[in-house]
Structure 1
Amino acid sequence: GKGERLRPFTEDRPKPMVEIMGIPMLGYQLEWLRGQGVTDVILSCGYRHEVIEGYFGDGERLGMRVGYSVEHEPLGRGGALRLALGQVPDGEDLVIATNGDVITNLKLAPLIASHRARKMLATIYLTPFVSPYGIVETDGDDRVTQFREKPELPYWINGGIYVLARAIRERLPERGDHETTTFPDLARGGKLGAFKSPAYWRGVDTIKDVTEVASEMQRRLLSLFREG
């Protein structure tokens, strides 16, 4: 997409290239992947793809190999994923796929191990659902007893990170969204797994999200100095 909710930041760049503390979201993702041993990446691009290609190039300066799968017309997320999977080299039996607008420190090894052990075609990373609103608690007489600011609720949401078996490509739509086509079919067949983790995760969809993630990163950075 064109990242409409992040305008004006996305007027001259795609959503994953919106900067947080001077670094594009995609830059954080590649560092996260590289730190866990990922060496080869295919970036699925459409709108303003030349901005991504110009910034990352072939990935040499990151110590990675970076390739590009470019949509010349909108294919939907499922169609774009199918197109990108066509570039995966022979011999690779699984792929890590991630949305371009998430910031996380999720450990991939346990996610991959869960996927392999259960022999799934796809495994979705689930993250705890944090309410976007403050919660007001009351007693039986409707007296306010507590305020809870954006609490974690007892539900899990799709974190936009997946482990995919290579064989899934033929089950993805040529156009459309895999989450409304392929994934429901896999779930009915018992081939869609879930991996729950409370790891740090933030989806960045709005300007408010950019500001909040930047503040969280600043706090984490400052805590490093306090720990000494």
Structure 2
Amino acid sequence: MTGDSNGLIRPTQAVVLAGGQGSRLRPYTDDRPKPMVEIPGTGTPIIGHQLAWLADEGVTDAVVSCGHLAEVLQKWLESADLPLRVTTVVETEPLGRGGGLKYAAAHLPHADQPWYATNGDIWTRFSLRDMAAFHAERDATATLALARPRIPWGAVETDTFGHITDFVEAPPSPFLINAGVYVFSAEFTELLPSRGDHERTTFPKLAREKRLAGFPIPQGAYWRAIDTAKDLTEAAKELAALGR
């Protein structure tokens, strides 16, 4: 746990949820878990980029929750030159998203301190330090990063009379979505279900109590969820254009 000149506490620990089967990414995930898939041209699996990002943002300890083909991910983590300390956990039985998150969080080194979490299929870059400050300023129990992804289809604009005025290729969505990156206060862990989905239980309860915050990812920051082979291709193009 670190603080800044304003006394804000920023997390130094994180959970990475890396247990998904990635069925829509086959055949890439036939012999490796989803976070071990490499974005073409980068030379590093998705989780390698995530761990580097977390370390850049001040994280010193990460717990990686494994599932599908866990041994492949564990072997890579053991052999890689990582910029932070990493512990892996494997669920012995399915616990659901909330239960799995709680199980992984129990292995964090500092139970009394805040923590980050991220889904294992997210490739992004923005300031987690700013997100942690946003979380603290609102005295939130949990804060979700919010993204505005591009719609994969071309959009049509019309005037009030129904004439088409323009065509827009892959515009940003008018809706914000859960970006799969979080800041949690220490007490959040105990609010998670031991089994089941926290997005149907814990999050709605916190929202009703005004203890759930949403941090919009800054305009221009890179974010993409890697769900399909097309996402891999698009991410490779985008990162090449950004020089990353």
Note whether the superposition's TM-score is higher than 0.5.
Answer: yes
Residue of 90, 94, 105 corresponding to 1:70: 90
Single out whichever of 30-39 and 97-106 deviates more from structure 2.
30-39
Q: Distance in 1 between matches of 2:158 and 2:83?
A: 54
| Structure with a larger share of its residues in helix | 1
1:10 aligned partner: 29
Single out whichever of 15-24 and 94-103 deviates more from structure 2.
15-24
| Counterpart residue identity of residue 92, structure 2 | H
Q: Distance in 2 between matches of 1:111 and 1:202?
A: 18
| Structure 1 residue 193 displacement after superposition | 0.9
1:210 aligned partner: 232
Residue of 153, 171, 179 corresponding to 1:151: 171
- Where does structure 1 lack aligned partners over 5 or more consecutive residues? 223-228
**2:175 match: secondary structure:** strand
Partner deviation per Cα, 1:47-77 (whole Å, 9 max, x = no partner): 1111111101186x22310001211222121
Q: Distance in 1 between matches of 2:45 and 2:225?
A: 14
Q: Distance in 2 between matches of 1:103 and 1:168?
A: 25
TM-score when scaled to structure 1? 0.91
Q: Distance in 2 between matches of 1:216 and 1:40?
A: 29
1:201 aligned partner: 223
| Structure 1 residue 91 displacement after superposition | 5.9
**1:62 match: secondary structure:** coil
**1:67 match: secondary structure:** strand
Is 1:170 the counterpart of 2:190? The answer is yes
2:55 aligned partner: 34
RMSD of equivalent CA atoms? 1.6
| Counterpart residue identity of residue 7, structure 1 | R
Single out whichever of 82-91 and 2-11 deviates more from structure 2.
82-91
Residue of 210, 214, 222 corresponding to 1:190: 210
| Structure 1 residue 167 displacement after superposition | 1.1
Identity of aligned residues (%): 48
Q: Distance in 2 between matches of 1:47 and 1:175?
A: 18
Contact 1:92–1:166 (8 Å) recurs in 2: yes
Single out whichever of 206-215 and 31-40 deviates more from structure 2.
31-40
| Structure 1 residue 40 displacement after superposition | 0.8
2:74 aligned partner: 53
Q: Distance in 2 between matches of 1:114 and 1:193?
A: 9
| Structure 1 residue 92 displacement after superposition | 4.6
Runs of 4+ in 1 over 6 A off after TM superposition: none
| Structure 1 residue 154 displacement after superposition | 3.0
**1:98 match: secondary structure:** strand
| Structure 1 residue 209 displacement after superposition | 0.4
| Structure 1 residue 161 displacement after superposition | 0.4
| Structure 1 residue 99 displacement after superposition | 0.4
